[in-house]
Amino acid sequence: MERISIEVYEIVSHVLTLGFAAMGAALLYFILTKNDNSPKYRPSSVLSVVVMVSAFLLLFLQYLSWSDAYVLSATNDAYVLAEETRLFSNGYRYLNWLIDVPMLLIQILFVAGITGAAFTKYLRNFAVTGVLMILTGYVGQFYEPGRANENVTLWLLWGFISTVFYIFVLVYITRVIKEGSANMKKSKGRPIFEFILPLFYVAWTIYPVAYVMPAFIEQLGYGTAIASQQVLYTVADISSKVIYGVLLNIVSTILSKEEGYEGA
């Protein structure tokens, strides 16, 4: 934690910048394409906008937090923990996910055409399991290897509890995508919508993988472990928020056209 290579310092800076630039750019995309969709699909775009704003702010803060923590060593050949500084922390991410996760899960309901009592049921299930998944993971990361109060047992226990909620999320999202797919049987948007299922499984599963990266601090060294973790988080963030939202938007635009919507 006290000394990392120039490459590790730079790779983390670069990928955090990629992260917030992607969120900022996609924010404008979702605002500018919202009215290509008929009113019933627009809540999905609005929720993408909500996610982009909160993820942009969070990732920008992560970037500042990283930059503030380290300075070039006196010998100019490594980065070292700055004096009178603050530690880099992933905890920002978790509390940001309290906003993002329910929004991401709920936005797909509008595109899948789920309404009435089923909508309310999924909304409640997604909100409850999503929030519990995040809060338990948040508690867990305070014990991760490399921290002053490292406790591997508690870290893995809370991570395990969080993963149980994650499995519920996967069960619900699989049902939602199957139901949505049935609702758009005759639409050209159907294959794109169905592609969201494997994307979701891969993108969201990167998060628990990133959570366990600190387990490899001894094998990889602190720098490599933390850089891998940040790269994984960024790939997961861009896939699960931006690419996911863009696909939902494209499907919404196709459905809107097929249903006779002319655009505004």
Nearest-angstrom CA–CA distance, 103 and 241: 10
175 binds a second copy (CB under 8 A): no
Nearest-angstrom CA–CA distance, 33 and 77: 47
The CB-of-1 to a second copy minimum distance in angstroms stands at 8
Among positions 41, 153, 182, 263, the unique one binding a second copy when judged by CB under 8 A? 263
192 binds a second copy (CB under 8 A): no
145 binds a second copy (CB under 8 A): no
Among positions 4, 37, 44, 96, the unique one binding a second copy when judged by CB under 8 A? 96
The residues facing 80 across adjacent strands are 3, 71
Q: Tokens 């226990």 label which residue?
A: 157
Nearest to 105, CA basis, from 240, 199, 235, 242: 240
CB atoms within 10 A of CB 7: 13
Nearest to 91, CA basis, from 61, 120, 70: 61
29 binds a second copy (CB under 8 A): yes
| Residue whose CB is less far from a second copy, 92 or 216 | 92
Give percent helix, percent strand, percent coil of the chain, each to the nearest 5: 80, 5, 20
Binding residues for a second copy, rule: CB under 8 A, are 1-2, 6-7, 9-11, 13-15, 17-18, 20-22, 24-29, 31-34, 36, 39, 46, 49-51, 53-54, 57-58, 61, 67, 70-72, 76-77, 79, 81-87, 89, 91-92, 94-96, 98-99, 138, 142, 147-149, 263
